[in-house]
Structure 1
Amino acid sequence: MASGKLPWELEEEILCRLPPGSLVRLRSKSLGFARPQFIILAGFKIYSIGTIGLDVIDPKIEVRELACQFLFEAEKWAFTRITACNGLLFRDFWNQGVTIWNPWLRQVGWIEYKEDKDFRFCGVGYDAGKPEKGYKIFGYFNRFYDTKLKIGHRFAIFECASQAFKFIDSPEWPTLAGRGEYVSLNGNLYWTAYNEDTREHFLGSFDFSTEISMHFCLLPCAKHVSGLRDKLVLTVFKGDRFALLKQSRISSNTEIWVTKDKINSSNNVVWLNLITLSIPDFPSLFHQLSDISYFIHDMTLILCCDDNQTGVGCILLRGETCARRFK
């Protein structure tokens, strides 16, 4: 019997019709037809953007509108975003709540901030030490102190199961990241941060099991005496490691670093330089209006960002066999 590749639309339709138990077994394996995709918010619509033929000279992309009803409209589109945790997508609505979206089953749930609407969403995780994954949202409230109106943060966890906030007091918190810069891995939350005193870039982390925040590891960045920091974008690599995109503000060179081993509770992390790009027309990643997303396929970088000249979203493919830009 001859074997052929099914159209990806048909593959997705087959997956959404499978019972949940079958999906769990499938997702634990490396699926031959699975392709990395971006999820894009455009106005009141949401799209998936997939890549085709990354191993050939002329790769292509496919754009498809996703039928998803979020049950709520964002008050401020500049402050709405999507983050991923363990295969689920969480969409934050500014001062309103969070939508949980299962793209495999096309199911949508809604979490509303009833009274504490000034909660600032950072990221999502869970207690990895428990068999069931009770998802929790990490964030903070802005609080004013003294008569000088100095603003401070009161950190908290919103437990999705109990629909209740729990305040977290820690003697030391690493510098927080900007919106859209938190990454969930193995139930914990990670972000890039900078120490003004030592001029070192490092990873901050929050462990949902112990409810402790800490400096996780240093990043492969030189100290900049001038104060001109590199642009850093963290993502998950191969499902259990980190990749770090680093663009120099001085030289504009772009590098991709990856962790050598799987990420665990140990902060003994070794970084390896995977890709170095010295391309004149590569976009500047500083002052981007939208979140920057990317993934690595073999030795090819697939990047989603804003075009510097037009401000329109674009997809860039940079690798050993291809160099394409799609708008």
Structure 2
Amino acid sequence: MANKEKLPWDLIEEILTRVPPKSLVRFKIVSKQWNALFIDKRFINKHKKMFRFILRTRSKIYSVSINPKIEVRELTLDIPGLDTHQIPKKLIDCNEFLLCRMDKGAVIWNPWLRQTTWIKSEVNQPNLVFNALGYDNNNGYKTLASYRKELDPATLTCWKTHDLSSDAWRDQKGVLIYDGSRERITFHISSGVSLNGTYYRAASYDKTKYLFFLVNFDFSWYNFNKFCDLPYRGNHDRDALVLNIFRGDRFSLLKQSHLTKKIEILVTKNKIDKWSGGDVEWINFMQVSLPNLPDLVQIVSYDQPSYFIDGKNLVVCSYDETGRVWIYVLGDNKLISGTKIDLVVDPWPLHCTYSPSLLSVPRGKRVEAESQV
């Protein structure tokens, strides 16, 4: 009789961490146990090809892994029907996907699975700026884009949404609503985040430009609203201020003072509910006071740093004064390591965090029709 002994589960799990991500998607149907494993962030974080940062130079795209050794690999952005040499103008971390701003459109990308979906700009608005990807209460994916009717930066920003399921565009007529106030606001230079289908971004009133709060956009109700105040006061133009997702269902907020170089990380105490902004409580997670640490925001580019929290450590991607990319690991009020990414030779590349997932990119109506031809 054949030996029907099963392998220990921990050995099966270790073997699966070495399987290419695209194959793992097919293996999800093997059993409920395997399917549960593949959506477990702990498993994904152990995967041998997992990465946490994306870098874009003038001609190439790279992934950066920290496990704990830093590994840099070149990526390809495969977009059917488009020039393979096209490079995104902007990379926006939308939690499980990346939203890539392109010429006359955008790409939704899962770089871990090497999947893309192309969204073409509306014919009469070829210069739309794509800002976010989210979904409504029926899990229908939509993007949020902006434009100005005139080239003058003083003109008001106009907004549109695109529904992937219908390939339909919709004008957003309303303005930002804050407890009945309709004061004009300015978005912070950082990109914002998407959590549970809702888009969040730091902003301030024009009259009080350094008092920041969070705004969210609801893709079910098609409106902006003030969500909650941010705890920092006395901000400076060159301070770092970056919102991120913490443990899958909360926010983290990185602040580095340009004057003191002190870094603070705050996290929300409870899970984020898009309706409960008034109940958000921020708590201290980490402080790092290192006067010799470089500015995370350089005066040449003013780009904000990218970061994620790894256990009790903070991992940051930013530039030095020459535009070279560095990865800093900080913890216990000290610099654990600082590594320059020598493989990326172009200065001032775009960069963002990315949390790998096995979720397939949403496919729009036009893409599905083309795939059937």
Which runs of no fewer than 5 residues in structure 2 stay unpaired? 1-6, 178-183, 341-373
CA distance in 2, matches of 1:163, 1:194: 33
User: Is 1:152 paired with 2:156?
Assistant: yes
Give 1:306's aligned residue.
Answer: 319
Provide the alpha-carbon RMSD of the alignment. Answer: 3.1
Give 2:252's aligned residue.
Answer: 243
| TM-score w.r.t. length of structure 1 | 0.82
Higher strand share: 1
Asked if the contact 1:81/1:180 (under 8 Å) is kept, the reply is no
CA distance in 1, matches of 2:176, 2:38: 38
User: Is 1:186 paired with 2:199?
Assistant: no
CA distance in 2, matches of 1:197, 1:21: 58
Asked if the contact 2:260/2:291 (under 8 Å) is kept, the reply is no
Asked if the contact 2:133/2:194 (under 8 Å) is kept, the reply is yes
Seen in structure 2, the aligned counterparts of structure 1 residues 149 and 191 have a Cα distance that, compared at 3 Å, is closer
Letter in 1 for 2:171: F
Give 1:141's aligned residue.
Answer: 147
Higher mean C-alpha displacement, 14-23 vs 227-236? 14-23
Letter in 1 for 2:94: C
Letter in 2 for 1:182: G
Which runs of no fewer than 5 residues in structure 1 stay unpaired? 54-59
CA distance in 2, matches of 1:89, 1:20: 26
**Residues 189-233 of structure 1: CA distance to partner in whole angstroms, max 9, x if unpaired?**
111112343452111111111112111111111246xx6574311
DSSP 3-state at the match of 2:207: coil
1:162 shift after superposition: 2.1
DSSP 3-state at the match of 1:197: helix
CA distance in 2, matches of 1:292, 1:87: 19
1:140 shift after superposition: 1.5
Question: What does residue range 128-277 of structure 1 map to in structure 2 within 5 Å?
Answer: 129-130=137-138, 133-144=139-150, 151-172=155-176, 175-177=185-187, 181-198=191-208, 199-223=210-234, 230-264=239-273, 265-267=275-277, 268-277=279-288
Give 1:56's aligned residue.
Answer: none
> Which of residues 300, 305, 308 is equivalent to 1:292?
305
Size of the aligned set, in residue pairs, is: 311
CA distance in 1, matches of 2:187, 2:207: 17
CA distance in 2, matches of 1:81, 1:9: 31
> Which of residues 131, 134, 139 is equivalent to 1:125?
134
Letter in 2 for 1:98: A
Asked if the contact 2:193/2:243 (under 8 Å) is kept, the reply is yes
Asked if the contact 2:176/2:223 (under 8 Å) is kept, the reply is no
Give 2:109's aligned residue.
Answer: 101
Give 1:87's aligned residue.
Answer: 96
DSSP 3-state at the match of 2:156: strand
**Residues 238-293 of structure 1: CA distance to partner in whole angstroms, max 9, x if unpaired?**
11111111011322211111111110020111001111111123221233635521
CA distance in 2, matches of 1:7, 1:279: 40
- Structure of greater relative contact order (alpha carbons < 8 Å, 6+ residues apart): 2
DSSP 3-state at the match of 2:214: strand
Seen in structure 2, the aligned counterparts of structure 1 residues 104 and 26 have a Cα distance that, compared at 3 Å, is farther
Give 1:38's aligned residue.
Answer: 53
Letter in 2 for 1:137: T
CA distance in 2, matches of 1:171, 1:18: 46
1:161 shift after superposition: 2.2
DSSP 3-state at the match of 2:24: helix
| TM-score w.r.t. length of structure 2 | 0.73
Letter in 1 for 2:199: L
Asked if the contact 1:237/1:243 (under 8 Å) is kept, the reply is yes
